[in-house]
Amino acid sequence: MPGQEEWKRNSAREAAKLVRNDMLVGLGSGTTVAKVVKELVEKGTKARFVTASIATQKLADRLDLNLTTLEKGTGLDLTIDGADEIDPNLRLLKGGGGAHTRERIVTGAAEELVIVADSTKLVEKLGEKNPVPVEVIPFAYEYVAGLIEEYGKRSELRRTETGNPYVTDNGNYIVDLRTDPVNNPEKLREDLDKIPGTVDNGIFTDKPDKALIGHEEGCRAVETKEQHRELRRALK
């Protein structure tokens, strides 16, 4: 969608303005984060970056951003990451690109977390549009998928276009759990984490500092439940 691509660019442009040359910055994954990378290159940033996915790493490396790694005792000044869904409490559903396990590390290490997304990602409840992705180790994945399915309507092993299991950057599989809209994301995240063989899931309940929501008329910073619902109403 050409319009949606421009909305993502509006969000990315505002996020890039937050990055100073003296910062150590985490970058998540996804199409909007990719646009952030390009905006940062365009403004000639001298900041250092830690990437949460191989795809973002390859793009940033190709465009000559200054890449480094997350070492013991090192924190990030800022992480910029995307989301597949954002509810009014700024809880997130992530993992459409399969990088949510690494993203949790990079977001957790940041002093400030900013989410970049377009307005189609705003929902009333997580799970309205997308399944909950659960990263699992390949061993006995069918058995583990059955345990995961007990917490939703059905589970599906994510596959590539060729029909092979999708393999994450960590060498694992992803089971997508189809659910009704989730009333208690914290509880579902906790329940899924307890299943043997799971690595991590795409529910993020720690509130980001703000979400930069790109839309047709520009970009709006969303920090509260009221701002989330006001923007959704305005864009209907």
pLDDT in tens, the chain (236 residues): 568 999 999 999 999 999 999 999 999 999 999 999 999 999 999 999 999 999 999 999 999 999 999 998 889 999 999 999 999 999 999 999 999 999 999 999 999 999 999 999 999 999 999 999 999 999 999 999 999 999 999 999 999 999 999 999 999 999 999 999 999 999 999 999 999 999 999 999 999 999 999 999 999 999 999 999 999 999 88
Same domain, 47 and 144: no
Same domain, 105 and 64: yes
- Residue-number span of the structural domain to which 156 is assigned: 132-201
Same domain, 216 and 230: yes
103 is an active site residue: yes
Binding residues for substrate, as ranges, are 29-32, 81-84, 94-97, 121
Same domain, 93 and 13: yes
Same domain, 212 and 117: yes
The Cα-based distances of 61 to 41, 90, 156, 158, 228 in angstroms read 11, 31, 34, 28, 35
- CA–CA separation, 230 and 117 (whole Å): 16
* Catalytic option among 14, 39, 85, 103: 103
Instruction: Judge whether 202 and 95 are in contact, CB under 8 Å.
Output: yes
Same domain, 57 and 174: no
Quick check: pTM over 0.85?
A: yes
Same domain, 114 and 28: yes
What's the pLDDT tens digit per position in 22-37? 999 999 999 999 999 9
What's the pLDDT tens digit per position in 130-182? 999 999 999 999 999 999 999 999 999 999 999 999 999 999 999 999 999 99
- CA–CA separation, 74 and 194 (whole Å): 29
Same domain, 117 and 143: no
Same domain, 83 and 114: yes
Same domain, 119 and 136: no
CATH number, domain containing residue 143: 3.30.70.260
Domain total of the chain: 2
Same domain, 39 and 68: yes
Residue 40 has phi, psi (to 5 degrees) of -65, -40
CATH number, domain containing residue 30: 3.40.50.1360
